Chain A
Amino acid sequence: MNSSNQVVKVGIADLNVVKAPDLIRTSGLGSCVGCIIYDPVKKLAGLAHIMLPDSNLSRQSQMNPYKYADTALEVLIEKLLSMGARKGSLKAKIAGGAQMFKFASQSDMMRIGPRNVEAVVDKLKKAGIPLVSSDVGGDCGRTIEFDPDDCMLHIRTVSKGEKKI
């Protein structure tokens, strides 16, 4: 099938992979982190919309591995390799991890954005995948779209407009 420029949408606590010319997008990242892992030569890319830093936080008997930084990235890497990506050429870009509401709370959950970013960066380091660029933190939501063809990540925010990293 050679239809061009389909946009694959990834929901919250979900992930997916695409091959150029298709694009991959996730909408409304707040404290969640969108992590793109791509192979620039094979033009393959995967996107995970990560909600929580660590699967050890789970109190579920059957947890959704796509929700956590550690487990989601493992699945994402595996999927890319099974599509023909080569481990050595994988790279990453990330966006998100904002703190949407500013007020002190006794709940550690309010700092979840920065904790998600830390967890993703840490996991990428352990997997030996270089982090090429990132747009994280702040207090605004982001919608992101990745093009595996030119490997650019388009980031749209409400107050700061659009940019590419």
Chain B
Amino acid sequence: MTMEMYSLTSVQLDALREIGNIGAGNAATSMSVLTNQKIDMEVPVVSLIPFDQVMELIGGPDELVAAVYLRILGEAPGTVFFIMALSEAENLARQMSKEADFKILDSAEDDLAFSALMEAGNILTGSYLSALSDFLQINMQPSIPSLGIDLAGAILSVGLIELSQVTDYAIVIDTKMNNEQEAFRGHFFLLPDADTLPKIFNALGIDAYE
């Protein structure tokens, strides 16, 4: 099956939305414990879009973002990003490290607040993935996550390279979460590799060729 011709049925879209829900729901719980705050999440948005539009989901390729990136290894490979606007990542890092005047762009890489941010990213992406893996009963292992602070285009294209050998479209399962004051907001992006989608549908008992 090539993804070029691919379109998703409403049943398949629902299934992917549910996956976003389950992953981000678990991550929101972890986040809530971590920050001792109530964390809300929005209904996931599933899109099948050209690469350019993937960047537009978070404000365009020139937008400055902080993102934790990991590859899903195992039976159903793919890429997970947890993406925050710079100011929101700063808020989170300040809160976790108790460094009230922490500034991402002015700080040295060994600043404690960076480790805190990285750790938050680890916990979030890890809990997203473990919920997914449990739900689908598919073996998914996270690679070591990395933190990147850069232009959205430069960061997100890392997740598109694998796909780009097969297609010019990406399936993005985008779940937003935020705390009550909306001081902290983040996007979870799950980008399944091209061959992974049929495996996910199969695990859910949905016909991939419907």
A interacts with B: yes
B37 at the interface (CB under 8 A from A): no
Q: Give the B interface residue count (CB, 8 A).
A: 34
12 A–B contact pairs at CB < 8 A?
Answer: A12-B51, A28-B61, A29-B153, A30-B155, A52-B161, A58-B165, A101-B146, A103-B146, A141-B151, A143-B151, A158-B64, A158-B105
Asked whether, in the complex, the Cβ of A31 is within 8 Å of the Cβ of B151, the reply is no
Q: Which 7 A-B pairs have the closest CB atoms?
A: A28-B153, A141-B154, A28-B61, A30-B154, A141-B151, A27-B61, A101-B146
B-to-A contact residues, CB < 8 Å: 2, 4, 51-52, 55, 60-62, 64, 69, 71, 105, 143-144, 146, 148-158, 160-162, 164-168
Given contacts A60-B166, A61-B2, contact A12 B153 (CB under 8 A): yes
Output the least CB separation between A92 and chain B (Å). 22
Q: Give the A interface residue count (CB, 8 A).
A: 35
Q: Which residues of A lie under 8 Å from residue B143 when comparing CB positions?
A: 103, 105
Output the least CB separation between A75 and chain B (Å). 16
Asked whether, in the complex, the Cβ of B161 is within 8 Å of the Cβ of A158, the reply is no
A-to-B contact residues, CB < 8 Å: 11-14, 27-32, 51-52, 57-62, 64, 67, 98, 100-103, 105, 107, 109, 112, 140-143, 158-159
Q: Which residues of B lie under 8 Å from residue A58 when comparing CB positions?
A: 165
CA distance A142 to B51 in the complex (A): 18
CA distance A30 to B155 in the complex (A): 7
Given contacts A12-B52, A52-B165, contact A105 B71 (CB under 8 A): yes
